[in-house]
Structure 1
């Protein structure tokens, strides 16, 4: 706010100049004659964009190229479009992409709960052509969130493109182009916005020219806050950017930029509470003497609809301490069960869930006739304490030097840093009922105590933290030279680049546990502080029928916790896991853009080499002499940073290419072809058999071809593309139940004295997490139209079809498991494992379970084959409607692939799969109306540009959720993306 106030003061001294118009189809504004800016071939300005139609791009070949002469598939969202859409971030823009959308991480059987906001630092993950995409800012790799307050336009390059990014995702990139200082004119622009759910946003953009055409500075800032439509999910953003431009000589341009920002966002699971009580509810919500069932904790008591909780340390919102133990009947605590849980005989078939053993099913989102508690989507059930905070910064410097008449040199350096910390929650996301008449005595004796909350509903979860620190540095030198060899030999723009980049990434996470207040020792398992036996569960008894109370108890509760005569306190500890990595890349690239036959044939090509070194960081348990333990910073045996994991360090040498051509058959018809590949970073959090090491780097392959149509001097431009894009070595299918069964088998051999502990240790492969390699393949076609049919009308429209398939799944698993079966055959198959079943049964369940998993994942999960959208604006220039404009958009996507119907099991227990199940279609309408003029007089001053705009999103107020996955049993939802209700946004912009 201070920044905006200062900018407001600066506006008073700013010289009133005419603001530039970006389109002949813009709402009426004044125009001014401005000398064109001579750009390097590595820069693109939006000054030539008209309405929603962009003129040039760097996204095809790293060289400034007309879109009509670019063989790569590139789509541009202009500044005019962003303004009309009312977009503030990338997720809104992606809704109108040709074949792009926010990535819900939904292409596997188990989409994670980060699928809405992308992650801790990253604001949104990108999906393009059904595959993961990458984000860049000014064509530099980024993990920082994007905001339109300093963005001139977005460019989408679909498919792999080695010239742009030899090292990236196969789906392509979405680049945000930062607005720079304009050395031609002084100007100021202020925008205030109010929106639904107490939303408020203030933007300032002040451009000051100190020496015309030589020295200028631009300052941009934003303050944005809103409660959002979901309770406990308020958001706040404060960011500012200062960028300077200096031309010490006519052929030299220096640019320097600094950005800083603070973001406060919710930690959010974007769905509602999970059903863990429907069977108990159906049975009449019985309360029981919980000692009558003995010490068993895992079996559901079918007549009552309850099951044991196991070992848990629980503190309730009223201060009651519950220490559930599985030894001795007086220590057992029970909880309600749903009709979907494995082992429940409740009229619903007992089946597996891909194949974890229970069926997570969301509660109904509205009241039902049977009175089962409901949980609407309009609440963030993590509650108000679950927050994530991001601090971000960026430094950028660039020197552009013209060399003679035909050469350019560019030197650039970029550094971005981000720190994110999140208070999250772990444990079940379920709503439970408490059936216990009695509770274990907190003094540790067998004497039970009465449960004051018997029969009530509750939620309980474990406090959890997560942090990310990342620093990216890039130094780049790029040069180009134009050579004209005449009509027959053509005109050629040759480019070369050398680049060095380094990324340091640190991360950590862990739960809140109970430790002895005096000794600091964990309550049950001192050898592994992060073990679930030490977790502190915060239980909140809720008000039935009041979903806003279905949030966890406060993790900041300071009331004393006693057990067995000792006092305990909460503490956050680090879990195991890779604490980060260091990456260094040295790149070289050569590219050419050649024009033959008086520009009727344009050929582009590029060759790139990336030498990549990746060193993961290591976490290890800390000993008693470690300074962090001695100082009390960490607990004994807690995980801590232990340096570089040189054993897993890897080096890669990639050579990739891009080749394409455009043939102008007539003045209005062109044909194009483009082929390219690229490589990506191996996922250092994944491990692959048989060596339990990093997966191989993913490889992207792409081929595009089609036609372009241009009419009425380019005012109507259409591009029709057929494509085939593949991503090889994808490691995102994960299920650890099979490796756990393998470890139980090895444990049985050890316990029977058949193998030594040392041999068992070599067979356990504890670092393996259940990851499987596969290939993803997409084929399809798309159509895009960008047009300014008249000076008052601008429009963008797109249609796409995509077929997504997964193949070669688990190719590394089969030889590994064949070796294990040969090993198993040396020992008796009748031995009983800790799962209380014979080894022979474990082996058969591993085989059938893996086959079930692979069969399910061969689907193109969440793919919506057909997508279409249109957005338009018309400006009136006559009669009473002069200076008004109206517009809006429509978005449609066909049904998404959810899963296969499970119709039964064969003799070996393998799933028998039926028809493919689909979710609902998506159809949304957005509306736009506004008024724009240049004031002739008044308190704001003559010459002031005024724009008032109303945006209505989701005009039809369609609130049906986007279904990501069903529970595969009874039609219940498992993963959804809630739909934001109809919302209003009013903005007022003043330009000087």
Structure 2
């Protein structure tokens, strides 16, 4: 597979690339690289608001900033937090976010190979953050220090967050008085070609620069699906004096892919079921995006964060002011599934190829679907200002740390989405359905050609006239204030509390755009807005039963604005709110070699925007466009058990078991959500395990081996019960699965300060074909078996 290179025409890279390129050039030319010896420990005193991952041992991470903004031990926090550090990500062969979080408990994806569509504790989560900030740019392991999964509500810190939990990615940071560079080359199945570098440069005693770069290209192991990604990341630290510092972080990148989200074959019966019910009719080797072989997505992206930190009053008060901005420009070409529909005028018989049914038979009157290909242009910009302080209060019956501040998000987050319908005549009038003009011809069936699925005819490149047809603009203003008090009570500090409050004032608007006559001009056709003022709360307690075992309890609430989500009357939906109670145990041995946590949770969520499956919209309204949602309530109960250990200096392991049983508590059968049924897109049980052993003596010294597995139970794709005699009731499920990953490698010194490491990763070793993601409208396969070879040089 070959893709056109973006070259100098990439607008965002042209604007911001020179900044990061200059930082990269400075790092490569810095004479300090050859003058200062390597050191394994950072020399600087990291500020209160920064977590130091260099002190992780094996897969063991003991501290976090993801609750309360300040650096605190994991065992002293009342919430369940799973940390996937850089060492684990490297060992399991995780190159991106989706591959990494498979090793976290109670997390599942709703769209295959997507960064931000997943469930935590059985509930949909769009809460994806980078360094506490919402980002509209993708992430990759080349610039990732660790991934932290904060289970349960945490809106006091993150503001806009779903009840199930938050995923917060921590990026790499520069360290003072260190010079270290790592270059890594990776190749493997499906024409995988990947190169990365990561260098930390000491610029004197008080400044440091860390730069990382990426080139990644692969065909992804599926027919007509692949990705090419390039990125340049930098982090600069200036320790002006012992109490004052400035840190600037940024990334510029480009992402080109053929998106994969499932296949478009339909169920065996003639009922209008979720398209997810059809996946599994074909073997995985034929899996292809529902968007078709000619779909493309091109993304230019950029972000920066600047933070000024000052310590006052003998370090009793630490203040930080942060400015962040992320933006992306995306151009896509695809045909959304089930874009329009009518009803069959005559019965159509089934057809099959090699024993697999491709077009099921259907009766007259059955809803049938068409796809109109489109071009989508999307520009997004997100700016964020935050002022926070950590104040060590006078001792009053114990030690107390107050974190407080506020943030402001201005209304400069416009999303402009223009659509060009390819199947139009030059005068702008429709040319008719893709598969014919009669209702009987409009079934979006596929045929097997050249090892993959293709449409009956080529859809792209026919020279048809393109014209802007529709779009939307989003606006959002957020003003918020927060405070969190962490207290250690008594002289021994055995009892600890964490109490926080947050107030959000949010204004969300949505303008729908339409073409102005037979022109390319766009005008606002409808407007919607929602103004919400909401308090979020978090109250937690920890009691030390023994020096190694803590008892925890926590209550928290969550808030998520339903931007661009409309109800059945096409009104903008108000925010989703949730609350959670959880209780647990956390253990950490004095030598930090063993840690474990167990948490039981009981959470509820109201005013959730539940997507209505297209066939049900057709049955209810006669049309599936625009997409609509209904407000539902739900509950989820379950537990997480995670264990990390370093039995010996050469042996590390991590394991986890999770259970979540989300139920719909409102009865909405006419929209496919009957009360008491399991939420769609959920696997109730999750289990993960991975271990690595290093040989440190004898003739095999330097050899390391590892392996592990991921288990997911039966997947509930959805329940169709429409109270409509023409549509059959059916529970759609897919079987559970277990995949195995293995690791082997050899590491040795080339010189005093250089090391060469050879590594082999085998992901999904037994080539298990499985459904990894489901939604009410589609489903997708997980990754196929992939063998990867890596060579890294550290000096």
Cα distance in structure 1, aligned partners of 2:640 and 2:337: 43
Counterpart selection for 2:466 from 551, 568, 571 = 571
Are 1:702 and 2:709 matched, yes or no? no
Kept in 2: contact 1:733–1:773 (CA 8 A): no
Q: Which residue of 2 aligns with 1:953?
A: 763
Change (3 A) 1:76 1:360: closer
Cα distance in structure 2, aligned partners of 1:980 and 1:790: 33
Q: TM-score by structure 2 length?
A: 0.85
Are 1:365 and 2:312 matched, yes or no? no
Are 1:984 and 2:790 matched, yes or no? no
Are 1:604 and 2:597 matched, yes or no? no
Q: 1:851: Cα distance to partner?
A: 4.6
Cα distance in structure 2, aligned partners of 1:925 and 1:742: 44
Q: Which residue of 1 aligns with 2:10?
A: none
SS across alignment from 1:867: strand
Counterpart selection for 1:719 from 597, 604, 613 = 597
Cα distance in structure 2, aligned partners of 1:534 and 1:144: 42
Map Cα deviations across residues 601-635 of structure 1 (whole Å, 9 max, x no partner): 111111111111112223244157xxxx3xxx34x
Counterpart selection for 1:387 from 296, 300, 308 = 296
Kept in 2: contact 1:852–1:910 (CA 8 A): no
Counterpart selection for 1:474 from 365, 372, 384 = 384
Change (3 A) 1:17 1:554: farther
Change (3 A) 1:767 1:800: closer
Cα distance in structure 1, aligned partners of 2:574 and 2:617: 21
Q: Which residue of 1 aligns with 2:56?
A: 49
Q: Which residue of 1 aligns with 2:306?
A: 397
Change (3 A) 1:41 1:551: same
Q: Which has the larger radius of gyration?
A: 1
Q: 1:524: Cα distance to partner?
A: 7.1
Q: 1:71: Cα distance to partner?
A: 0.7
Cα distance in structure 2, aligned partners of 1:137 and 1:83: 19
Counterpart selection for 2:659 from 791, 801, 804 = 801
Kept in 2: contact 1:54–1:78 (CA 8 A): yes
Q: Which residue of 2 aligns with 1:759?
A: none
Map Cα deviations across residues 57-79 of structure 1 (whole Å, 9 max, x no partner): 11222221100111111111112
Kept in 2: contact 1:583–1:613 (CA 8 A): yes
Q: 1:662: Cα distance to partner?
A: 0.9
Cα distance in structure 2, aligned partners of 1:268 and 1:479: 44
Are 1:693 and 2:571 matched, yes or no? yes
Counterpart selection for 1:585 from 442, 460, 478 = 478
Map Cα deviations across residues 294-316 of structure 1 (whole Å, 9 max, x no partner): xxxxxxxxxxxxxxxxxxxxxxx
Cα distance in structure 2, aligned partners of 1:726 and 1:539: 40
Kept in 1: contact 2:265–2:445 (CA 8 A): no
Are 1:920 and 2:739 matched, yes or no? no
Kept in 1: contact 2:694–2:703 (CA 8 A): yes
Q: TM-score by structure 1 length?
A: 0.69
Change (3 A) 1:771 1:248: closer
Map Cα deviations across residues 455-505 of structure 1 (whole Å, 9 max, x no partner): x99x9953212232211111111111112426xx00111111111013513
Q: Which residue of 1 aligns with 2:399?
A: 491
User: Which consecutive residues of structure 2, in runs of 5 or more, have no partner in the other structure?
Assistant: 8-20, 341-345, 347-357, 360-368
Q: 1:858: Cα distance to partner?
A: 3.0
SS across alignment from 2:159: coil
Change (3 A) 1:266 1:709: same
Q: Which residue of 1 aligns with 2:13?
A: none
Q: Which residue of 1 aligns with 2:640?
A: 782
Are 1:150 and 2:165 matched, yes or no? no
SS across alignment from 2:672: helix
Change (3 A) 1:388 1:394: same
Q: Which residue of 2 aligns with 1:271?
A: 263
| Corresponding residue pairs, total | 746
Kept in 1: contact 2:44–2:175 (CA 8 A): no
Counterpart selection for 1:159 from 145, 152, 163 = 152
Q: Which residue of 2 aligns with 1:168?
A: 161
Are 1:235 and 2:227 matched, yes or no? yes
Q: 1:258: Cα distance to partner?
A: 2.4
Q: 1:52: Cα distance to partner?
A: 0.7
Cα distance in structure 2, aligned partners of 1:544 and 1:250: 66
Kept in 2: contact 1:775–1:807 (CA 8 A): yes
Q: Which residue of 1 aligns with 2:269?
A: 340
Cα distance in structure 2, aligned partners of 1:234 and 1:101: 22
Higher strand share: 2
Kept in 1: contact 2:260–2:288 (CA 8 A): no
User: Which consecutive residues of structure 1, in runs of 5 or more, have no partner in the other structure?
Assistant: 21-31, 105-114, 276-338, 342-351, 367-374, 431-435, 437-455, 560-568, 635-639, 745-763, 811-849, 937-941, 967-973
Kept in 2: contact 1:268–1:386 (CA 8 A): no
Cα distance in structure 2, aligned partners of 1:858 and 1:124: 25
Counterpart selection for 1:728 from 606, 617, 622 = 606
